[in-house]
Chains A and B, each alone.
Chain A
Amino acid sequence: MAAESTLIERLREQGISRRGFLKFCAAAASMMALPPTMVPAIAAALEKARRPSVIWLSFQECTGCTESLTRSFSPTVENLILNIISLDYHHTLQAAAGEAAEQARKQAMKENFGKYLIVVDGSLPGPDSNPGYSTSAGQSNLSLLEETLEGAAAVVAIGNCAAFGGLPKASPNPTGAVAVQDVVKDKPLINIPGCPPVPMVITGVLVQYLTFGKLPKLDEYRRPMAFFGQAIHDRCYRRPFYDKGLFAESFDDEGARKGWCLYRLGCKGPMTYNACATMHWNGGTSWPIGAGHPCLGCSEPDFWDAGGFYKAVSVPTGDTRETLLGAGIAGAVAGGAAAALARKKAKDGRAARVPVEIEELEQKL
């Protein structure tokens, strides 16, 4: 289904006033840390925007990212976003199925060639893996992606799986899963990681892209700096307790009930960059740390293999106790052998020893 009407037309159809629309633009501006003077520009851009075609490819995913996006408690904002884009292909949300769905995709690609946005959630089996691990309509994920990439303007990888490989890529990675960025090399690409990402982060990035027509400022992991530029630790409301050295040591102990820092329970906040600490979840209701659970670090690459959700940041990831014990034993054996050899050498030396005689010393006078 191609996008024909402008945003304003669609909004009016939905019964949303211009005032409501401008409120949204103001909210979007502040969310992107843009000054209020930008609001008219956003409004103008969005007004005129033809709803761009979005082809959403779902690969090895749990659908959590889609659930997050749609599981919103402020329908006005999220739904507005969904009305800004023309979602031409989405396994879960689309009405069509089977061949009809594939036809819709191919038609959208043809009609918007060079201009459509690809959104991916889920990781995909890489070029060296058996493509049969994940297919739709008999076509492998990789093949589908490569086919759809041809006329794409940009790619947005939503969720940790698409951005970094996520859970499928976690050890032992049975499907040979790779991230989208491992396969997409010559198209503009944004990663919006999270497991799932904060809903408003998704919508915020889309709005930014649509307003300015180019990618926002990205970090080394190609995540938008506006939402992934700060560590959880630096915005966490429990930070004063970390600084003071007050930690919960088990779930529901005195410290936990007092809302102390969750570092010792495995919080990955110090090394996780996301917007949870400020934007929260469920329309600002709460977030993991606020609910008393340590941050999993779900917007970071390989967070599943980062040691353990309940092991502190400072704890190594491997079987270090066994390693140390084994090394100690090996060393003790080696040292014992060396000492035994030395003692034998000394004993032999003593047996072969020629005592010093005074005449020998006098030779040196």
Chain B
Amino acid sequence: MTALSLDRGLAALRDEIDAPVAAFFSSCVHCGLCAQACPFYIETGDPKYTPILKVEPLRLLWEQELSLWGRLKAMLGIGRKVTDEMLEEWEPLLYDSCTMCGRCSMVCPVGNDIQSMVRKTREGMVASGHAPAGLIEASARAIRTGSPMGLTWKTLEAQIKHVESSSGLEVPVDREGVEYLALLSSMEVINFPEYLEAITRIFHHAGVTWTLSKDYFEATNAGVQIGSRDIAAELVQRIVDAAVGLRVQGVISPECGHAYTAVRWEGPNLIEKPYPFEVLHIIELLDKLRAEGRLKTSGKVTDRLSMHDPCNLARKSGVIDQQRNLMDLVAENFVDLKEHGRFQWCCGAGGGVSSNERADELRMAAFKRKKAQIEEIEPDRMVTMCATCRTQLEEGLEEFNMDIPVVGLTEIIADHLVEKGKPA
């Protein structure tokens, strides 16, 4: 077995330098506006969290290998080099203080997609052996057991049984040739088990044919969070194998943020070929059903609801209107946070931050940006569509003594379905 090394890290970084990266580093003028989009800087006031600084190892390599001045400096032996010490110093900047939320990419005046460069820099970090313990452990569990939290099929099976008895409906497993393979996130199964029952009831109501896969049920991708395309590709391939094996038309990603971006946008490029099936977030599917008139609901909640858009769903994937259409079905008193949709603020927990114990304090500090947004609107409850966001919101609101329950959107939809007769 080989060992991770600085050379492998540099090779990984080198491989990540493409035309956009070269354009980005050629264009950064150190204006500092990216910091104004980063909750980690805003809520700590520490300029070391300025987003463009987080990718300094990548920039240094670009400068040394692709710019004349950089090459000259390297030849003369002057200027900083990317070393293990530097990468060690950068580890907390890249993993503890960045959720890859992408807001910096939206505000940079010269158009730098800094978030994508954080993702790329993490490849170098992993290949050189500089990644947080929490993420390494989650990746190990994901590779070995199929679940980053070590959730087994046995446990899930118990939950399936519970859902079937509670709803009187079947939860299909390994059904071939159906429309959709539904993936689950371990976090959801453990913390928010109502999701499985909700989709069981909705799919039955709307006449959607679907299945779970016994071989592989996990939607989330620890490889994407730690930043290793090798680990990420292996995990995505398992999804592809399951979907192809069951000959489904589409794969549903659950209420999770990064799982969707991992499968929908990164996956085909990790395995280097397009999928023979489509990928939808559960919210996209629900809105599709709504538009087709297949969701019959009755009654609306009357308390004041607001919504947190998961970054990976809204800003990084363009699923913005769908959740609002669905809210209109079931809520009378919905009001958006001031900055929402593509400009919403990150909850502070995504991108692997919540799996990284070392980052707990920072994660809570970053949450204060979300907290300020919520305080502006003063909702009775918050709605969201990602288990990590939901956990972070609950934890954060509790930490700051704000009595605002958080609820999943799929759950609310399911709660308002007009029930058809239960099958005999």
Complex: A in contact with B (CB within 8 Å): yes
The answer to whether A356 and B4 have CB atoms under 8 Å apart is yes
- B131 near A361: Cβ-Cβ < 8 Å: yes
Checking A338, A354, A365 against B136 with a beta-carbon cut-off of 8 angstroms, the contacting residue is A365
A346 and B14 contact, Cβ closer than 8 Å, known pairs A358-B140, A358-B143, A363-B129: yes
Residue of chain B at shortest CB distance from A352: B11
Please, what's the 1-or-0 string for B153-181, where 1 marks a CB less than 8 Å from any CB in chain A?
00000000000000000000000000000
Residues in B93-146 with C-beta less than 8 Å from chain A? 126-127, 129-131, 133, 136-137, 139-140, 143-144
The reply on B244 being an interface residue by CB < 8 A is: no
18 inter-chain pairs at a CB distance below 8 angstroms, sorted by A residue, are: A338-B66, A342-B65, A346-B15, A349-B11, A349-B14, A353-B11, A354-B2, A355-B230, A356-B126, A358-B140, A358-B143, A358-B231, A359-B1, A360-B2, A361-B140, A362-B136, A363-B3, A364-B136
A-chain residues with CB within 8 Å of residue B66 when the two chains form the complex: 338, 342
| CB-based contact A365/B133 at 8 Å | yes
Q: Is A71 an interface residue (CB 8 A)?
A: no
Interface-central residue, A363, A364, A365, by most chain B CB under 10 Å = A364
Task: Tell me the A residues contacting B by CB distance below 8 Å.
Answer: 338, 342, 345-346, 349-350, 352-365
* Cβ A350 vs Cβ B15 within 8 A: yes
Contact B126 A361 (CB under 8 A): yes
The smallest C-beta distance from B221 to any residue of chain A, in angstroms, reads 14
Nearest Cβ distance between residue A220 and chain B, in whole angstroms? 39
Using CB atoms and an 8 Å cutoff, list the residues of chain B in contact with chain A: 1-4, 8, 11, 14-15, 17, 65-66, 126-127, 129-131, 133, 136-137, 139-140, 143-144, 226, 228, 230-231
Listed from nearest, the 3 A-B pairs whose CB atoms lie closest are A355-B230, A364-B129, A356-B230
Residues in chain B near residue A365, CB distance under 8 A? 133, 136-137
Q: Taking A342-B65, A357-B1 as contacts, is the C-beta distance between A362 and B14 under 8 angstroms? A: no
Residues of B within 8 A of A362 (CB): 136, 140
Min CB distance, B173 to chain A, in Å?
Answer: 28
B1 shortest CB reach to chain A, Å: 6
- A345→B4 contact, CB < 8 A: no
Specify which chain B residues have a CB less than 8 angstroms from the CB of A360 in the assembled complex.
1-4, 129
The docked-state distance in angstroms from the alpha carbon of A354 to that of B126 is: 13
The answer to whether A356 touches B65, judged by C-beta atoms less than 8 angstroms apart, is no
Of A349, A353, A355, A358, the residue contacting B139 (CB under 8 A) is: A358
CB distance from B90 to the nearest CB of A (A): 15
Given contacts A342-B66, A346-B15, A361-B4, 4 further A-B contacts (CB under 8 A): A342-B17, A356-B4, A356-B126, A358-B231
Can you name the residue of chain B whose Cβ is closest to the Cβ of A349? B11
Distance in Å: Cβ of B89 to nearest Cβ of chain A: 16
Give Cα A360–Cα B3 distance, bound, in whole angstroms: 6
Task: Find A361's partner among B14, B15, B17, B129 (CB 8 Å cutoff).
Answer: B129
Say how far B132's CB is from chain A's closest CB, in angstroms: 10
Assess the A357–B136 pair: CB atoms within 8 A.
no
Instruction: Please name all residues of chain A whose beta carbon is closer than 8 Å to the beta carbon of B143 when the two chains form the complex.
Output: 358
Residues of A within 8 A of B139 (CB): 358, 361
B136 x A356 contact (CB < 8 A): no
Which residues of A lie under 8 Å from residue B136 when comparing CB positions? Answer: 361-362, 364-365
Residues on the A chain within 8 Å of B15, using CB: 346, 349-350, 353
List residues of chain B with CB within 8 A of the CB of A350: 15
Q: Which residues of chain B are within 8 angstroms of A358 by Cβ–Cβ distance? A: 139-140, 143-144, 231
Tell me whether A357 and B230 are in contact in the complex, defined as CB-CB below 8 angstroms, given that A342-B65, A364-B129 are known contacts.
yes
B236 to chain A minimum Cβ distance, whole angstroms, is 14
Partner pick for B127 among A345, A356, A359, CB 8 A cutoff: A356
Looking at B4, B137, B139, the one whose CB has the most chain A CB atoms below 10 A away is B4
